[in-house]
Amino acid sequence: MAVPMHTSNRLFLPARDTRMLLIKWVVALIVPLAVFNFVWQGDALINNVILGFINPASAPVTDGQLVEAVIFIAIFYLTLLALAGYLVAADSGRRGVLEVWIDILIFTVVPILLIVATSNNLILGLALCGIVWPIYFILRRRIPFLSFLNPKSVPPPEGLRLIDSEQRAIMIGRARAGGFWFGTSFAVIWLFVDLIFFLSGQLPTELLVVTAIRTVLLPLGGYFLGQLGGMLAVRRTLAANGNGNGNHASEESSLRSRRQKERQILATSRASEETRAVVPNDLPLRSTGARNFFLILLVAFVVFYPVIDPFLFGSGTAGRLSGYNDAGYYVILALGLNIVVGFAGLLDLGYVAFFAIGAYAWGIVGSTQLGFISPIHIPFNALSGLFWPMLLVTALIAAGWGVLLGAPTLRLRGDYLAIVTLGFGEIVPVVFLNLDTLTNGTNGIVGVHSPAFFGVFWSQITPIPYYYLILALIGLTIFANIRLRDSRLGRAWIAMREDEIAAASSGVNLVRTKLFAFGTGAFFSGLAGAYYSAKLGGVSPETFGFGDSVIYLAMVVIGGIGSIPGVIVGALTVYSINLFILNSLDTLASDPTNFLHSFDQFIVNIVPGFTFGNIRNLVFGIILIVIMIFRPAGLIPSARRRRELTRAPEGEAALELGSLDVTTTDPGFEAEVRIE
Amino acid sequence: MSVEQVREHSGQPLLDLQNVSKHFGGLAAVQDVNLQIWPGEIISIIGPNGAGKTTVFNLITGIYRASVGDISLDGASLVGLTPDRVLRRGIARTFQNIRLFNNMTVMENVLVGQHSQLSASILGSLFRPPRVHNEEANARVRAIELLGFFGNELIERQEEYVINLSYAQKRRVEIARALGSKPKLLLLDEPTAGMNEVETLEAVKYVRRLRDELDLTILLIEHKLAVTMGISDRIAVLDYGRKIAEGLPEDIRRNEQVIAAYLGKPTVAEQQTAD
């Protein structure tokens, strides 16, 4: 273990090994932060916000938005200071300095630089990362010179010893030093940059005050926040007397002592996966403790995005937000389908049906259509407020249809289930198309009302409220997914997916469990449907087709079946490819100064009529094939799936690859038997 | 010979198979089987391969539905119930080929075994009120107790995926999973299959402990005659779907028809009247 016994905790002249540790992590964090600040206008963000306070007339945003921007900045830098403390405390000493620096470079600095290089296009920059990173992975595996960069296969953690209070104090001391020196170094660098700008006349004098304050605050904040980070790290150590891993002691002392015993046994067991949760560990960047810091940063970024977007990306906020709003409902659809396909293992090829049901449900109620088909006339101003309860009602209607359409499939397996769901996926939109009296047929429904919130009426041209609505809905969906996955019902789903007969023989009621899966999956697509028709202001049956069901399935599979972060990334990836990236490439290519232009011209000579947008389906298909060959578990596989696809159990036949297939290791008759 | 032993049992049998038959098309997998099991017994079903032993298990647990006859537990008929309802009546089983949930950990497998004992609904799962929270915590504690029946080894490995376990360990996890539902009757399908002598002895020990410490009635399918003879209170012998003998181990060992069935002499299988 890397915590030596005789380190003193001097702050200003740290001992030699602490010094190495500090250099390792402070540099590792400073470089990306410096790139963010000085290359990508992170400091411009702050300066503009401050100028906005000082001189309100010149600011492009309102006072309220300025305050929000300040909150974001505070969260951002404070989290980084605490993270510095955590990383220093959590370091296990096994990964070398160079490895960590190169890792940080590739995974943090490269994206920022790519975003800057693509003229501040966030999506395009990230998409290019999706090309650069696999290249890096391949290179570091193939080139012997770079082989030291590969994560080492971790031997069972014999070295994972229990920590006593003296070592804990050392860890916290280190964390304090880490935070302090990180804050200090960054303050110094920033001071330096500001002075240069000031001397060259580009920095308004008012901001010098801010510079001074900041130079004092950063080291101070680093000291205390580093200590906080260290304490968080210490909570995740295995302690002889505590109960480690931050578990709360329950009332029963027998339970506590049992848990304590488990933790001690865990320290010497072969469960190497758990080393990612326990400190110190080998992968501090990927540890579950550090992950919380990254989540805070990500959530802060996403929540405050509409406010900081004008500062970071310039004009065009509304357009970008509109694009993200569209991507948002794809995420909800992917998460909903993940329940059906990922958790319960029911191959659903007709998921678009429930999306259509949700969209039409609000479409009918939220417009004049309801007045046409029934004696109920709702006054217009009430319609907008009605959206909120209708959101729940629509989802429940879709869930009900999920149960109804799932019922005929209960005895079917695998492929047959897929065909029936495919059938429903075709039937429902056609029904909507032809039920003229109810749904206005091919003309669709127009004039669907947007929701209102506390008297403020939304419309299609203000994307910000929709952005927060979809964020809230996504948050709800993620929360529900996680809760369900770790519950009795979630276990029943996964058991049913693994082995229906064993699940039934363990008490799982197959009928109810399957219906719950369909119903829950349809619930979320109903949510997405209501949002969709409200945002679009209308519904038309042509938008729902089999191709869409396939796209939703592709999102889930590419992202990682059964993995919640995976399908989110999968949804965003598929959406970006299909609707975003290639069009952006077209825009870039039409600019004669861009190198893409000549490339484009060259191809047009060979294949007239070529645009990047045209080859969208070709590119999508190629990406699907490539991912399925090289990474069949998906972009962010769930832990189970990765295991399923990369190892065969000793002494038994290897599992079949698709969780969508019935496993052929079922003995004899039992596999063929229907359960009545 | 076995008539006297049968008469010693008083009261209603725990499990009662009356003239049970199962036909798959023209094939009679099980024909006219009668069997009674009283509480606290360890009964073995033996017979050559293909005799229909696992089919009897499947009939009892509801995976197949009996074509003819009745199966009842404590007097209540089980015929036509789905396997999960049979489990809730109090019959749990293990499988010949070990059917664990491979992509779940040991702990999760045993928790699924307790599915019928937990009552969290979908709303309860979503909102996790204190009742559900406590239920889950208690379920985990109970799971560790169940695993602890086999010593510390499985408790240590509770977060490992079952795919990584050894064969003997997998069998034990399967039994722990079956015990989760607090059954009255435990059906073990070849619990010592594939085990060497040491492991077999251990298995025999814990089968006895299951009956003694946990108050279970056990119905075994077993191929190793040494095991059956040593552990069973009574043995029933199946051949070609019929019960050809039933009785105490020492009687079965000497029974001519049983020997013929195993060694393959061309003898007509006769129904042994055990009533």
pLDDT at A274 over 70: no
**A487 and B128 in contact by Cβ < 8 A?**
yes
Q: How far is B83 from chain A (nearest CA, A)?
A: 5
- The secondary structure element, H or E, covering residue A361 is helix A352-365
A170, A71: one domain: yes
Query: Which of the listed residues B180, B200, B230 is the one where a domain comes to its end?
Result: B180
Q: Is the pLDDT of residue A265 over 80?
A: no
pLDDT score at A1: 39
pLDDT score of B227 more than 70: yes
Percent residues over pLDDT 90 in chain A:
20
Residues B20 and B71 placed together within one structural domain of the fold: yes
* Mean pLDDT across A625-652: 68
Query: Helix A165-199 vs helix A63-90: angle between axes, to the nearest 10 degrees?
Result: 130
- The answer to whether residues A290 and A226 belong to one domain is yes
Residue A382 confidence (pLDDT) above 80: no
Is A611 inside a domain boundary? yes
3-state helix, strand, coil in chain B (%, to 5): 45, 20, 35
How far is residue B238's CA from residue B218's CA, in Å, rounded to a whole number? 18
Give yes or no: residues A200 and A219 share one domain.
yes
User: Of the candidates A522, A557, A592, which is a domain's last residue?
Assistant: A557
Is B200 in the same domain as B82?
A: yes
- Contact A507/B116, CB-based, under 8 Å? yes
Q: Let me know: does A321 contact A122? Beta carbons within 8 Å.
A: no
Task: Answer yes or no: do A273 and A168 share one domain.
Answer: yes
- In this complex, which of A269, A491, A510 lies closest to B157 when CB atoms are compared? A269
Flag if A504 and B83 touch (Cβ within 8 Å).
Answer: yes
List Cα–Cα distances, A593 to A115, A165, A464, A666, in angstroms.
18, 63, 33, 63
Domain encompassing residue A232: 16-94+152-310
Residues B161 and B191 in one domain: no
List, for residues A167-186, the tens digit of each pLDDT value.
788 888 888 888 888 888 88
Q: Do B156 and A266 touch (CB under 8 A)?
A: yes
Which positions in chain A touch B64 (Cβ < 8 Å)?
Answer: 673
In a domain, B96, yes or no: no
> How many angstroms separate the CA atoms of A211 and A591, rounded?
40
**A666 has a pLDDT exceeding 50:** no
pLDDT value at residue A270: 38
Q: Determine the Cα–Cα distance for residues A36 and B18; give it in Å rounded to an integer.
A: 79
A255 and A390 share a domain?
Answer: no
Please provide the average confidence, as pLDDT, over all residues in chain A: 78
Gap between the Cα atoms of B64 and B81, Å rounded: 10
> Mean pLDDT, to the nearest integer, of B105-117?
95
A326 and A468 belong to one structural domain = yes
How, if at all, do strands B15-24 and B27-37 pair? antiparallel
Which of A346, A512, A515, A331 minimizes the C-alpha distance to A421?
A346
* Inter-chain touch A270–B96, beta carbons under 8 Å: no
CB contact under 8 A, A495 and B92: no
Rounded to whole angstroms, the Cα distance separating A340 from A16 reads 55
In this structure, of A33-37, A385-389, B60-64, the range with the lowest mean pLDDT score is A385-389
Nearest to A84 by CA among A288, A280, A225, A187: A225
Q: Which positions in chain A touch B193 (Cβ < 8 Å)?
A: none
Q: Which of A143-157, A203-217, A657-671 has the lowest mean pLDDT?
A: A657-671
Q: What is the ipTM of this complex?
A: 0.91
Residue B187 pLDDT: 96
Q: Which 265-304 residues of chain A touch chain B by CB within 8 A?
A: 265-266, 269-271, 273-274
Residue A293 binned pLDDT confidence (cut-offs 50, 70, 90): confident
Residues A297 and A321 in one domain: no
Domain match, A550 and A651 both: no
Lowest mean pLDDT among A37-41, A241-245, A345-349, B130-134: A241-245
Which segments of A200-248 does DSSP mark as H helices, in order?
Answer: 206-235
Neighbouring-strand partners of residue A27? none
Helices (H) and strands (E) in chain B, counts: 12, 10
Q: What is the mean pLDDT of residues A430-446?
A: 76
Residue A654 pLDDT exceeds 80: no
Structural contact between residues A331 and A568, judged by C-beta atoms closer than 8 angstroms:
yes
For residues B81 and B19, membership in a common domain is answered with yes
Over 50: is that where the pLDDT of B2 sits?
A: no
Q: Residue A540's pLDDT is what? A: 84
Paired strand residues for B220:
B44, B188
Same domain, A260 and A300: yes
For residue A145, is it within any domain?
no
- Tell me the C-alpha distance between A489 and B123, whole Å: 10
Looking at the predicted structure, is the pLDDT value of residue A611 above 80? Answer: no
Residue A115: inside a domain, yes or no? no
> Residue A259: pLDDT above 60?
no
A317 vs B64, more confident = B64
Nearest-neighbour CA in chain B from A643: distance (Å) = 8
Q: Are A129 and A114 in contact (CB under 8 A)?
A: yes
* A143: in domain: no
Side-chain-side CA neighbours of residue B131 (13 Å): 8
Q: Are residues A406 and A327 in the same domain?
A: yes
Comparing alpha-carbon positions, the chain A residue that sits nearest to B179 is A506
Question: A251: which residues sit within 8 A by CB, 6+ positions away?
Answer: none
Distance in angstroms (rounded) separating the CA atoms of residues A464 and A451 = 13
Residue B81 and residue B191 share a domain: yes
Q: Do B125 and A489 touch (CB under 8 A)?
A: yes
Instruction: Return the residue in A254, A505, A510, A675 with the most chain B beta carbons within 10 A, the one to mutate for interface testing.
Output: A505
The answer to whether A343 and A489 have CB atoms below 8 angstroms apart is no
pLDDT at B130 over 60: yes
pLDDT tens track for B250-264: 888 888 888 888 766
**pLDDT-based confidence at A87, cuts 50/70/90?**
confident
Closest CA to A163 of A175, A151, A171, A174: A171
Q: Which residue has the higher pLDDT, A240 or A384?
A: A384
Last residue of a domain, one of B180, B210, B225: B180
Considering only CB atoms, A502 lies closest to which of B64, B101, B118, namely B101
Higher pLDDT, A63 or B54: B54
> Which range, A77-91, A270-284, A454-468, A500-514, is most confident?
A500-514
Distance between A641 CA and the closest CA of chain B, angstroms: 8
By mean pLDDT, which of A101-105, A275-279, A488-492 is the weakest?
A275-279
Q: How many residues does chain A have?
A: 676
Specify if B10 maps to a domain: yes
pLDDT of residue A251: 37
Cα dihedral A7→A11→A12→A17 (10° resolution)? 30
pLDDT of residue A659: 32
User: Do B15 and B73 form a contact (C-beta atoms < 8 A)?
Assistant: yes
Number of structural domains (chain A) is 3
pLDDT band for position B189 (cuts 50, 70, 90): very high
CATH of the domain at B263: 3.40.50.300
Among the listed ranges A572-581, A639-648, A649-658, B186-195, which one has the minimum average pLDDT value?
A649-658
| Measured distance CA(A1)–CA(A22) in Å, rounded | 17
Partner residue opposite A502 with nearest CB, options B95, B127, B141: B95
Percentage of chain A surpassing pLDDT 70?
Answer: 75
pLDDT at site A400: 96
SS3 content of chain A, % helix, strand, coil (to 5): 70, 0, 25
Answer with the one of A557, A589, A624 that is the final residue of a domain. A557
B20/B141 same-domain check: no
Determine which of A112-116, A513-517, A522-526, B178-182 has the lowest per-residue pLDDT on average. A112-116
User: What is the domain range of residue B174?
Assistant: 102-180
pLDDT reading at A242 higher than 60: no
Flag whether residue A503 sits within 8 Å of chain B, measured between CB atoms. Answer: yes
Residue A128 near residue A52 (C-beta atoms within 8 A): no
Q: Check whether residue A180 and residue A282 sit in a common domain.
A: yes
Rounded distance, CA A484 to CA A493, Å?
Answer: 10
Contact call for A505 and B61, based on CB within 8 A: yes
Distance CA B143, CA A363 (A): 49
At residue A253, does pLDDT exceed 90?
no
Find the mean pLDDT for residues A127-137: 83
C-alpha distances in angstroms, A654 versus A128, A643, A663? 37, 12, 10
Q: How much is the pLDDT for B191? A: 93
Cβ–Cβ gap B161/A490 under 8 Å = no
| Whether B115 and A504 lie within 8 Å, measured CB to CB | no
Residues B128 and B237 in one domain: no
Q: Residue B122 phi/psi, 5° resolution?
A: -70, -35
Residue A194 covered by a domain: yes
Q: How far is B179 from chain A (nearest CA, A)?
A: 10
Number of domains within chain B: 2
Last residue of one domain, picked from the residues B165, B180, B195: B180
Q: What is the pLDDT of residues B52-62, one digit of tens each?
A: 999 999 999 99
pLDDT at A646: 56
Residues A82, A74: Cα–Cα separation, whole Å: 12
| A13-17, B101-105, B112-116: the lowest-pLDDT one | A13-17
Helices and strands in chain A: count of H runs, count of E runs? 27, 4
Other residues' Cβ atoms within 10 Å of the Cβ of residue A74: 12
CA distance A612 to A98: 40
E-strand stretches of A456-592 = 456-457, 538-539
Q: Which residue has the tokens 């891993």?
A: A245
More confident call, A582 vs A546: A546
- Local confidence band at A624 (pLDDT 50, 70, 90 cut-offs): confident
Sequence letter at residue A233: A
What's the pTM?
0.83
Interface test with B, best of A479, A482, A488 (most B CBs within 10 A): A488
**Distance separating alpha carbons of residues A235 and B129, to the nearest angstrom:** 26
User: Does one domain contain both A321 and A306?
Assistant: no
